[in-house]
Amino acid sequence: MSDELAQRLRKEGYRLTPQRQFVLRAVEKLGHATPDEVYAEVRSQSSAVNVSTVYRTLEVLEELGLVRHAHLSDRAPTYHSVTDHEHFHLVCRNCHTVISVDPDVVAPLAERLEREQGFVIDIGHLAVFGHCVECRPTDEENP
């Protein structure tokens, strides 16, 4: 796994550093995580990493296509590894549960938008907000 990282980095003239390995590993371990959470995880492994390095590294990793980010909350962006199979997210506005969904489900929509608008969806970045089964609004209450 560090092989792939090293390889991709070199290809773009970047260098393989322990920090970059820590960050990538943290993203893979956490699944979906904000920069802060990644930072916390990395720190728990090694205290020798700075926040700004985390930000800079996430940027590089995203440029290399090893991680992606989506906006799963009203606040910070959330990073996830790309080695997980591609997916998009349903986010409950009430309990903040994140459900990963297979891209197939959006395929028809994607095709339609591409056909009608020439717009190509970036599925990995897609976050669909709403309410999960548990939190569905009933008649009397409004979201």
Contact 70/78 with Cβ under 8 angstroms? yes
Nearest residue to 67 (alpha-carbon basis) of 17, 8, 107 = 8
From the list DNA, a copy of itself, none, pick the one residue 117 interacts with, judged by a Cβ distance below 5 to 8 Å according to partner type.
Answer: a copy of itself
Distance (Å, whole) CA 58 – CA 67: 8
Which residues sit at the interface with DNA, rule CB under 7 A? Answer: 6, 9-10, 13-20, 34-36, 48-53, 55-57, 59-60, 75-77
Give the span between the Cα atoms of 131 and 143, in whole angstroms. 8
Spatial separation of the C-alpha atoms in residues 117 and 112, rounded to whole Å: 8
Helix (H, G, I), strand (E, B) or coil at 14: coil
Using the rule CB under 8 A, which residue among 14, 87, 93, 103 binds a copy of itself?
93
Which residue in 71, 82, 98, 103 binds a copy of itself (CB under 8 A)?
71
**Nearer of residues 20 and 69 to a copy of itself, judged by Cβ:** 69
Per CB under 8 A, residues contacting a copy of itself are 65, 71, 74, 77, 90, 92-93, 99, 101, 105-106, 108-109, 112-113, 117-122, 125-133, 136-137, 142-143
